[in-house]
Amino acid sequence: MADPPARPDGLVATLTTLTGFARTLRAAGVAADHERTQNMLRAAAHLDVTDRSAVYWAGRLTMCAGPGDLPRYDRCFAAYFGGERPRPGRATPPMVTVVRHTLAPDATGDGDAAGHEALAATASAVEVLRHRDVARLSAAELAEIHRMLALLRARREPRRSRRFAPSHRGRLDPRRTMREALRRGGEVSRLRRRSRRVRPRRVVLLVDVSGSMAPYADTLLRLAHALVRCEPRATEVFSVGTRLTRITAELRHRDPGTAMREVSAAVPDWSGGTRLGDELKRFLDRGSGARGAIVVIASDGWERGDPSLLGRQMARLSRLAYRVVWVNPHKGREGYQPLTGGMRAALPHVGAFVAGHSLAAFEELAERLSHA
Amino acid sequence: MVNRALRAADIPTPGALAELLDAHAYLAGEGLATACFLALKMGRPLFLEGEAGVGKTELAKTLAAVLGAPLIRLQCYEGLDAAQALYDWDFARQLLHLKAAEATGATGAAEAGRLEGELYDRRFLIARPLLRALETQPSVLLVDEIDRADDEFEAFLLEVLSDFTISIPELGTVRAATPPVVVVTSNRTRDVHDALKRRCLYHWLEHPSFEREVAILRRRLPACTEALASQVAAAAGRLRAAGLVKPPGIAETLDWAEALLTLGARDLDPGLAAATLGALLKYREDQQAVLANGLLRHG
């Protein structure tokens, strides 16, 4: 596909304008990488660049990667071709040093005996901490919990995929058997077998970030980060409040601190109200693949909207998902009863209802995902 | 067939392509027409995403009709592998050939070498859709519902779509002299890998506007009156705004209008509408909600 011959006059101006537009898109968060920019220029070369709508489509078809990009693209297009100056390229984010607290006692002990005692004390302090409600911890203790969460190794329950792999047992593999036979002059001397390959089952995590969940949201998101890090291709995370937001990409950063900063920039509805029913409907309508996945909802069930809508959506979810797990931080408290309207509507459709207030509870949850 | 074949170079502007699609009863908006036009000119795959039933598959069929090229379709599913999508050797026939050679008494080292060459001959190769698309010129390749396939398939599809070649170890490399027109569709039940999307022109198909939907109904169903078409389109628009489990797409609207016409409806009679609702809505909850709220009545 040869490009039409370039006209030198005006061409430079067009190139400058379009690359400036690409920069504006990139600054607005559209994945306008080099290859896409090249594609836009090539597309524009086939169209009439003096036609505003032709330029609009040349950019939209090459630069956008999903419906989420479209409003952003439209805003940028209106702003850029409406006379606004191109934004400068994004500066690299500053390095942030994360200070890690540990609960090691002050190194004032003298001699071996004191050392052993100190070690024992640390061990039991950690053990106590594992069971304490994260909402009631000091900043240093919370940092220790986060450090331990970052080390969490969460295995994932396997599921049998539809793909086959060579194996010693299982069904006959006609292709490999025949191929082997051909190699031996058409004599079938050995039967080859194949069996279904095993893959990790997908987990979809919905984390409530509304006001009532504020003391737990940060820790739950760190748990989400640990889960994403262990199985990046088989984990999806959304924040739920008044606007469902996919935060999987933000959580893919290796460093938990960076990931948390990216998430807090991406989530528009921190500490607002909760419309779980609406949000869940949006999640299911989006067709985001609850099908066959373990869906974990981390919320206290304080529903501002209509509980019956939540009930209906939970019923839909339970038909699609492999299993629905509800994590409620308050369940760990003594004498807790699921009395809120939302929680009562949701519970009949929940496969497992678990606590989510302490590190021990999170570890138990991670364990549950490894053999649900 | 051959003399009707139209080449990409014969289509000067997106508008001209829209007219050609229109002649085959497909009404494309400016965005979609531009997308198809660029896909033809740039030799890039067209990645169509949108709700189910907005006409993604239909576009590929129409494009094939416009270009006078055969449509080669690859329906994706989980576990789709190279043997199903690219090519496979016909082992049964290879064995038969071998036995036949044995029966005629072909022995000796020279004979064996020749026999081996024969076994991996093109005639024992079964071309699956991707290979067939590279070998057929011109052709339109439809990779339907890629979101149903898994990551492994995406990886080798990307390889094929990058340079339109398939290498077969026993036979050599198959290269398309002119690459096929490729349409990839997705219902977005999961996110497709960005590397694949980057290769493609991406277009998000919306439900049609009221005017366009009326036009499509009239274009597709000549027996449909203006009154019935606008009532059906208005009802479909109301249903899409009603927050149903599965809002009707244009495919369902067409089915519904056809069902109404078959029953001899001249305009949207509430009784007939309720009786034919199964053509439009495929969930019991949706049907109940619609009947309870009187969404079919035009007001």
Q: Where are the domains of chain B?
A: 8-79+136-205, 87-124, 210-293
- Assess whether A191 and A278 both reside in one domain: no
Q: Among residues A178, A199, A220, which one ends one of the domains?
A: A199
Of the listed ranges A120-124, A198-202, B183-187, the one predicted with least confidence: A120-124
Write b or e for each residue in B55-87: b if 16 or more Cβ atoms lie within 10 A of its Cβ, otherwise e: bbbbbbbbbbbbbebbbbbbebeebbbeebbbb
The CA distance from A224 to A217, in Å, is: 10
Question: Is the domain of A233 the same as that of A282?
Answer: yes
Q: What is the pLDDT of residue B118?
A: 82
> How deeply is B201 buried, as exposed, middle or buried, from its count of CB atoms within 10 A (0-12, 13-18, 19+)?
buried
Q: What is the dihedral of CA B105, B107, B110, B115, to 10 degrees?
A: 60
**Pick from B90, B84, B169: nearest CA to B131:** B84
d(CA B98, CA A182): 8
Residue A191 belongs to some domain of the structure: yes
Q: Please determine, for residue A101, whether its predicted confidence score (pLDDT) is greater than 60.
A: no
Alpha-helical regions (H) of chain B:
14-23, 30-42, 56-67, 82-85, 91-103, 109-119, 129-135, 151-163, 194-199, 210-220, 226-241, 250-262, 270-275, 284-293
CB contact under 8 Å between B201 and A162, yes or no, is no
B95 to A33: CB separation less than 8 angstroms, yes or no: no
Do A178 and A213 fall within a single domain? Answer: no
Q: How many domains does chain A have?
A: 3
Contact A286 B88 (CB under 8 A): no
Q: How far apart are the first and last CA of chain A?
A: 53
- A133: closest CA of chain B, how far (Å): 36
User: Mean pLDDT across the stretch A54-58?
Assistant: 92
Residues from chain A that touch B11, judged by Cβ atoms under 8 A, are none
A261 domain residue, yes or no? yes
Could you say which of A36, A43, A174 has the minimum Cβ distance to residue B198? A36
* Tokens (6 digits) for B57: 């598959």
Q: Quick check: A64 and B202 CB within 8 A?
A: yes
**Beta carbons of B44 and A39 less than 8 Å apart:** yes
Q: Tally A–B CB contacts below 8 A.
A: 106
Which residues, 6 or more positions from A370, have their beta carbon under 8 angstroms from its beta carbon? A154, A155, A156, A157
Tell me: cis bond preceding A67? Omega within 30 of 0 counts: no
- Alpha-carbon distance B210 to nearest alpha carbon in chain A (angstroms): 21
Cβ-Cβ contacts under 8 Å for A83 (sequence gap 6 or more): none
Whose CA is closest to B283, among B243, B223, B226?
B243
Where residue A361 sits, what CATH number does that domain have? 3.40.50.410
Last residue of a domain, one of A59, A80, A101: A80
Determine, for residues A186 and B150 on separate chains, whether the beta-carbon distance falls below 8 Å: no
Q: How do residues A192-223 score in pLDDT, each as one tens digit? A: 898 888 888 889 999 999 888 888 888 899 99
* Same domain assignment for residues A191 and A71: no
Distance CA A277, CA B97 (A): 64
Residue A141 lies in a domain: no
- Token look-up 């987990």 returns A203
**Residue A224 confidence class, pLDDT cut points 50, 70, 90:** very high
Q: Residue A266: is its pLDDT beyond 90?
A: no
Rounded Cα–Cα distance for residues A19 and A22 (Å): 5
Amino acid symbol at A145: I
Closest by CA position to A202, among listed A107, A303, A295: A295
Q: What pLDDT, on the 0 to 100 scale, is given for residue B5?
A: 65
CA atoms within 13 A on the CB side of A259: 25
DSSP state of A160: E
Q: What is the arithmetic mean of pLDDT over A289-307?
A: 87
A284 and A174 housed in the same domain: no
As a whole number, mean pLDDT of residues B62-78 equals: 93
CA distance linking residue A346 with residue A348, whole number of Å: 6
Rounded Cα distance between B259 and A345, Å, is 39
- In this structure, the answer to whether residues A314 and A270 fall within a common structural domain is yes
| From A281-290, B29-38, B148-157, B216-225, the region with the lowest mean pLDDT | A281-290
- Contact list, A70 vs chain B (CB under 8 Å): 204
Q: For the ranges A335-344, B220-229, B247-256, which has the lowest average pLDDT? A: A335-344
Residues A357, A211, single domain; the answer is yes
Alpha-carbon gap, residue A264 to A273, rounded angstroms: 17
State residue A286's pLDDT score.
Answer: 73
> A45 vs chain B: nearest CA distance in angstroms?
10
A174 domain residue, yes or no: yes
3-state secondary structure of A147: helix
Winning range, highest mean pLDDT, from A28-32, A303-307, B40-44: B40-44
Is B204 in contact with A47 (Cβ distance < 8 A)? no
Closest residue in A to B81 (Cα) is A163
HSE-up of residue A298 (Cα within 13 Å, Cβ side): 30
**Chain-wide mean pLDDT for chain A?**
81
3-state secondary structure of A159: strand
For the CA atoms of A346, A352, A355, A361, the dihedral, rounded to the nearest 10 degrees, stands at -150
Instruction: Mean pLDDT check: name the lowest of A37-46, A164-173, B139-148.
Output: A164-173
Query: Do the domain assignments include residue A137?
Result: no
B211-220 CB contacts, 8 Å cutoff, 24+ apart? B212/B27, B212/B29, B213/B237, B213/B250, B213/B253, B215/B27, B216/B27, B216/B250, B216/B254, B217/B253, B217/B254, B217/B257, B219/B22, B219/B25, B219/B27, B220/B25, B220/B254
Residue B271 CB neighbours (<10 A)? 9
Chain A residues in contact with B41 (beta carbon < 8 A)? 1, 46
Record: contact B201-A61, CB cut-off 8 A: yes
Q: Stretch B30-58: mean pLDDT, rounded?
A: 92
- Closest partner CB to B43 (pick from A1, A33, A47): A1
Q: How far apart are CA B89 and CA A179, in angstroms?
A: 9
Selected for mutation to probe chain B from A61, A74, A187 (highest B CB count within 10 Å) is A61
Interface of A with B in 241-300 (CB under 8 A): 281, 285-289, 291
Q: Residue A162 and residue B77: Cβ atoms within 8 Å?
A: yes
Sign of the CA dihedral with B203 first, then B206, B209, and B210 last: positive
Tokens representing residue A219 in the block = 């820790």
Closest residue to A163, CB basis, from B81, B98, B245: B81
Average pLDDT over residues A157-168: 81
Query: Does the pLDDT value for residue A23 go beyond 60?
Result: yes
The predicted pLDDT at position B229 comes to 93
A185 plus A209 within the same structural domain = no
Gap between the Cα atoms of B96 and B63, Å rounded: 41
Query: Taking CB atoms and an 8 Å limit, are B31 and A57 in contact across chains?
Result: yes
A194 and A265, same domain (yes or no): no
Q: How far is the CA of B287 from the CAs of A313, B273, B275, B282, in angstroms?
A: 17, 11, 11, 8
Q: Which of B94, B151, B203 sits opposite A182 (nearest CB)?
A: B94
Vertex A185: Cα angle to A180 and A186 (nearest 5): 70
Report CB contact under 8 Å: A287, B189: yes
Q: What is the pLDDT of residue B276?
A: 92
Closest-CA residue to A362 (of A124, A156, A133): A133
**Residues A170, A298 share a domain:** no
> For residue A204, what are the β-bridge partners?
A236, A295
- The pLDDT value given to residue B269: 84
CA neighbor of A301 nearest in space, from A338, A264, A334:
A338
A219/A358 same-domain check: yes
Comparing B285 with B184, the larger pLDDT belongs to B184
CA B24 to chain centre: 16
Residue A25 lies in domain: 10-80
The residue from A174, A199, A224 where one domain ends is A199
High-pLDDT (> 70) share of chain B, %: 95
Determine which of B46, B95, B204, B207 to mutate to test the interface with A (most A C-beta atoms within 10 Å): B204
- Looking at the structure, do residues A361 and A286 belong to the same domain, yes or no? yes
Q: What percent of chain B has pLDDT over 90?
A: 53
B187: left (phi over 0), alpha (psi -120 to 50) or beta: alpha
- A316 Cβ under 8 Å from any chain B Cβ: yes
* Structural fold of domain B8-79+136-205: Rossmann fold (3.40.50)
Of B38, B243, B285, the CB nearest to A46: B38
Which among B289, B237, B297, B295 has a CA at the least distance from the CA of B268? B297
- CB-CB neighbors (< 8 A) of A179 in chain B: 89, 91
Helix-, strand-, coil-residue percentages of chain B, each rounded to 5 = 55, 15, 35
**Which residues, listed in sequence order, are joined to residue A245 by a DSSP beta bridge?**
A239
How does residue B82 score in pLDDT terms, banded at 50, 70 and 90? confident
ipTM above 0.90, yes or no: no
One-letter amino acid identity for A55?
A: V
